[in-house]
Amino acid sequence: MKIGVLSIQGAVSEHLSHIARCDVEAVPVKTKEILCEVSGLVIPGGESTTIGKLIEISGLAAPIRERAHSGTLALFGTCAGLVLLAQEVLDGTKNQPKLELMNTRVKRNAFGRQRESFETKLEVKGFTSPLVGVFIRAPIIVEAGEDVEELARLPEGIVAARQGNLLAVSFHPELTDDRRMHQLFVEMCKVI
């Protein structure tokens, strides 16, 4: 099994390292040909508008949507990736590019600017001990459909959620040594 990391922007090497440490082949994804080879795709943090435009330009957006809808591709969106997965972005730009796959409404930069970045312990559903979440200009899920399972929450809203073959988090799990979120995603990919 191969799991890819969208290699357009963000902490690509860190995600690749975490996936590889979960005993799975990790590959950078920049083309449709490589996308066809993976069971799962991590969409890393970065700038959601830029990433969205670049996946449209590169021709990756349509095959990502098609495979996600057909259940042949699992997706893991972190930070900006969460924004891209959402059906609705409340404070997006005009013509905000997004994949519109997850039944969520999100707010970008929900915790403020870069200087308001923080780390906090999170209780994640299914984990036996807290996970440290690194929040950098992080989005938040302000509303989720009944088919979306809430995995973690802060007072401001949902910061980790799952819907079928989709996993989304507001924080950056690749920036800690804790691989449990990546391992959860690997387990999701095994049933694809």
- pLDDT score, position 116: 84
Please, which residues have CB within 8 angstroms of residue 90's CB and are 6 or more apart in sequence?
105, 106, 107, 142
2-190 has which CATH code?
3.40.50.880
174 catalytic residue (yes or no): yes
Locate 158 and state its tokens: 């949902």
Q: Which of 15, 174, 182, 189 is catalytic?
A: 174
Q: Is the pLDDT of residue 95 over 90?
A: no
Residues 6+ apart with CB under 8 A from 66: none
- pLDDT band with cut points at 50, 70 and 90 for residue 24: very high
What is the C-alpha separation between 47 and 49, in angstroms, rounded? 6
- The average pLDDT across 111-136 equals 93
Determine whether 79 is an active site residue.
yes
- Residue 56 catalytic? no
pTM: 0.97
